[in-house]
Structure 1
Amino acid sequence: MKTTLWRLPSFRNLWAAQTVSLLGTQVTLLALPLTALLLLDASALEVSMLAAVEFLPVLLLGLPAGAWVERLPLRPVLILTDVLRAVALLVVPAAVWLDLLSMPVLYGAAFAVGLGTLFFDVAQLSYLPEIVEEDRLVDANGKLELSRSVAQFAGPGSGGLLVQAFSAPVAILLDALSYLVSAGFLLGVKGKGRVIEEQPSQGMGREIAEGMRFVFSHPLLRPLIVCAAIAELAFAAVLALQVVFAADELSLRADVIGIVLAVGNVGGLLGAVAAGPLAQRVGTGPAFLVSIVLFSGGAVILPMSAGPVTFGAGLFVVYVGAVTFNVLQVSLCQTVTPTRLLGRMNSVFRFVTWGTVPLGAALGGLLVAPIGLRGVFWIAAVLTVISLLPPLFSPLRGTRDETPGDETPGDEPPPDEQLQSAPTGETS
């Protein structure tokens, strides 16, 4: 009988590092736009551009990030990116106290945080298979997503209370400290000692092309990345404007906004816990479809919101589906991708999916004036429904089990060999 993952010190430290940093991040998710709104009287467009700028590094460096990370020891990358994000956030309260705060300062901090998050995310997703065995990746990713959901539940409420009781810059200061605590936990993580093999140099362009060719030629990964890109594009506008929507459209106070976001994010807890059992019961492919239907249904509820209850309910359903999807997607990608391509596969996914975020956030902000906040939310809801189509009309729909991908791009086995169906009742 295998030891529970909680008894593995490296996984436990990685989980703790992610949990504490995400708690701080969720505080800043509320505090940074409120800093712009309350201290600089920022417009809806300026606030939405904060979210866009944070994801701009993905567009600029998303593809080469994977190739660079594959050449580096992963734990130092994780620690250094935590430190970078801490320093970037410390600039904001310092600017307030020195009376130097401006939107360019907030944009600069958001860009630096986004840069650190890009490299941290690519490195962490590549590092996890070094810490846990392949057949435990769904369990491990579920626990990591659970910590994300716990943070999304507790962070906004705490952030709203901190902003109300103290100020937004103080809340941001606490997030900066959380990244330093995270870096401390990461010092206790030990991987398998991955050997960085010297391979004939193909040139950065060819290495990036190899990663893209692998993702977009794979019968399982291709529909996933298209689906995720459409959904991220749509919901980026909602995430960039959710605080503005709650404050201006629903007339909610900062502490109430935090509580509503926290209640909505309880859905993420359910999604993280339910992803594994759902896939075991109905199969991986059908579980993906269920998660997308839930996500889309929640997105439809949001523009119909008339107060905190319906707004929180919509977010709850969104996060049940989104977190379920994330757990299944990350685990499947880690399983079917050869080890040498993990970094590039992760960077391609981040580039394509996260790369749509600044576009979605900017478009959402630009559309507020002509069609209003509810109009933007309705467009987002329609796009999330459309995101169901790529998986629905692909081999992913009938997948019950995914097997490791030791093949190289361009030399994959036929789909019927990759998608070996397990008998009903067996785990996927």
Structure 2
Amino acid sequence: MMSGMGLLAVRDFRHLWAADVISQLGTGLSQLAVPLLAISVLDASAFEVSLLRVGQMIAFLVIGLQVGVWCDRLRCRPLLVVADLGRAVALLSVPVAALLGVLALWQLYAVVLVTGTLTVVFDIAHPSYLPRLVDREHLVEANTRLEQNRSVAAVAAPTLAGWLVQWVGAPVALLVDACTYLWSALWLRTIRTPEPRPPHVEDRRMWREVREGLGAVSGHPVLRAFGGHGATMSLFQSAHMAVVVVFLVRDVGLSPGVIGLLGSVGLLGALSAAALTGRLTRRFGGARVLVVGGVGCGAAFLAYPLTTSGWGLGWYVLATFGASFGIICLSILQVSYQQAVCPPHLLGRVNATMRVLIWGAIPLGSLLGGGLATVLGARGAITTAAFGVLLSSAWLVLSPLRGMREL
């Protein structure tokens, strides 16, 4: 029986949560530290910075669906541990190269490619492992707890990363990130609950199993809407992310510390969403919250291009608050719904299909952002991306969710 702490009173979930909370913080550090390192140390152009984002996410397109099959065939916890250890080693190479004075842009591309590949394994295995550790009636609480970690990291990481880069340099920030992955691997190793081995089925064929996962998503009207919305939003959000640091440094004229502080203040929306999603769902219904959240998130992006120096920075804070609130709210409800409706033998492939649709759009969006910035400038690129994010909500508005109250 759980106490007032809920799932955190359960030892093994608490260890999963402890692994996740610091790992999320470290990931947030590198999201800002890597482009700042490329801009400030290696003098990368806007397009070269966008290629770093491509390298981080291209593996979702290449191996994402296959990883989903592996997660249905294998135990997931060993995959999580190996992915953490591999990412730690790759990131440690950056401060070592910087210390030796041999750091180059090609190495940074190699590091983000390796860490991105291992992140594919981790991000698909993690939601597939959770229902093997937690009973289905506790999945919404479990996902809310994990999204709270993501929210806290989203608030704390930009400020921490900005000041680390400004005072001790971006390579040190990546060293800290590597240590967080080691922390995560150690906590995951301490989980005691035995993970059942998936049943062995003879004559398994990779692409037949991949098609089963694709069919489970495309044949389900709500999952299909989630996938279409996620892919379209991810395309334009990644175009925004690929150039927004360049925009803030070169167009608005901000220092790394101020950029990090702005991101942390704005991302209080993520914390608010993690705290309020359950209440909003009980009050208005999960389907309604999803539709309104999708439209509101897109509308928030329209405030980003209004950002200027001085008081005009308030537009950036407002946009980040609204966008992060919507993204976390959508994530909690969508992931919980997937885990609840999917048969256990298909969950890995459904998670993989969703991840490929959403994360696989990121390298394409990053190239789009770099191209738009080259032609229209950074402000023009984030303006175009904002309208694209808003239009992505049509997938939800025109789906069966429109006539539903509950999921």
1:114 equivalent in alignment to 2:116:
yes
Equivalent residue number for residue 190 of structure 2: 188
Give the letter aligned to residue 388 of structure 1: S
1:129 equivalent in alignment to 2:134:
no
Q: Identity rate of aligned residues, in percent?
A: 39
- Residue ranges of structure 2 left out of the alignment (5+ in a row): none
CA distance in 2 between partners of 1:318 and 1:125 (Å)? 23
Equivalent residue number for residue 339 of structure 1: 344
What displacement does 1:2 show?
4.5
1:166 equivalent in alignment to 2:168:
yes
Moved more, 349-358 or 185-194: 185-194
Equivalent residue number for residue 329 of structure 2: 324
Q: Structure 1, residues 208-252: CA drift from partner, whole Å, max 9, x if none?
A: 000000011012100111011110001001112221111111100
Is contact 1:292-1:325 (8 Å) kept?
Answer: yes
Equivalent residue number for residue 226 of structure 2: 224
Equivalent residue number for residue 238 of structure 1: 240
Equivalent residue number for residue 53 of structure 1: 55
Is contact 2:47-2:374 (8 Å) kept?
Answer: no
Runs of 4+ with >4 A deviation: none
Give the letter aligned to residue 336 of structure 1: V
**Corresponding pairs, count:** 402
Moved more, 13-22 or 1-10: 1-10
Q: Structure 1, residues 90-138: CA drift from partner, whole Å, max 9, x if none?
A: 1111111122211110011101111111111111101111222212211
What displacement does 1:192 show?
5.1
Equivalent residue number for residue 205 of structure 2: 203
Write out aligned runs for 1:70-109 (5 A). Answer: 70-109=72-111
User: What value does the CA root-mean-square deviation take over the aligned residues?
Assistant: 1.3
CA distance in 2 between partners of 1:261 and 1:214 (Å)? 37
CA distance in 1 between partners of 2:14 and 2:87 (Å)? 22
- Residue ranges of structure 1 left out of the alignment (5+ in a row): 403-428
Is contact 1:130-1:191 (8 Å) kept?
Answer: no
Equivalent residue number for residue 355 of structure 2: 350
1:21 equivalent in alignment to 2:23:
yes
What displacement does 1:190 show?
3.6
CA distance in 2 between partners of 1:21 and 1:290 (Å)? 30
What displacement does 1:202 show?
3.5
Q: TM-score normalized by structure 1?
A: 0.92
Q: Secondary structure at the match of 2:303?
A: helix
What displacement does 1:398 show?
3.1
What displacement does 1:399 show?
3.3
Is contact 1:291-1:325 (8 Å) kept?
Answer: yes
Is contact 2:236-2:385 (8 Å) kept?
Answer: yes
CA distance in 2 between partners of 1:23 and 1:399 (Å)? 36
CA distance in 2 between partners of 1:2 and 1:183 (Å)? 26
Q: Secondary structure at the match of 2:302?
A: helix
What displacement does 1:287 show?
0.7
Is contact 1:264-1:312 (8 Å) kept?
Answer: yes
What displacement does 1:272 show?
1.3
Equivalent residue number for residue 10 of structure 2: 8
Q: TM-score normalized by structure 2?
A: 0.96
Is contact 1:74-1:124 (8 Å) kept?
Answer: yes
What displacement does 1:196 show?
1.8
CA distance in 1 between partners of 2:211 and 2:355 (Å)? 15
Is contact 1:272-1:324 (8 Å) kept?
Answer: yes
C-alpha spacing 1:360/1:10, structure 2 compared with 1 (3 Å) = same
Moved more, 301-310 or 111-120: 301-310
CA distance in 1 between partners of 2:337 and 2:405 (Å)? 11
Is contact 2:238-2:362 (8 Å) kept?
Answer: yes
Equivalent residue number for residue 368 of structure 2: 363
What displacement does 1:369 show?
1.8
What displacement does 1:193 show?
2.6
Equivalent residue number for residue 304 of structure 1: 306
Equivalent residue number for residue 378 of structure 2: 373
Q: Structure 1, residues 142-163: CA drift from partner, whole Å, max 9, x if none?
A: 1101100100111110111111
Q: Structure 1, residues 31-54: CA drift from partner, whole Å, max 9, x if none?
A: 111111111110011111101110
Please point out which of 249, 252, 255 is paired with 2:254. 252
Is contact 2:271-2:325 (8 Å) kept?
Answer: yes
CA distance in 1 between partners of 2:216 and 2:237 (Å)? 27
CA distance in 2 between partners of 1:180 and 1:50 (Å)? 23
Is contact 2:298-2:389 (8 Å) kept?
Answer: yes
Is contact 1:27-1:155 (8 Å) kept?
Answer: yes
Q: Structure 1, residues 289-343: CA drift from partner, whole Å, max 9, x if none?
A: 1211221121000011113322122111100001100111100111110000011
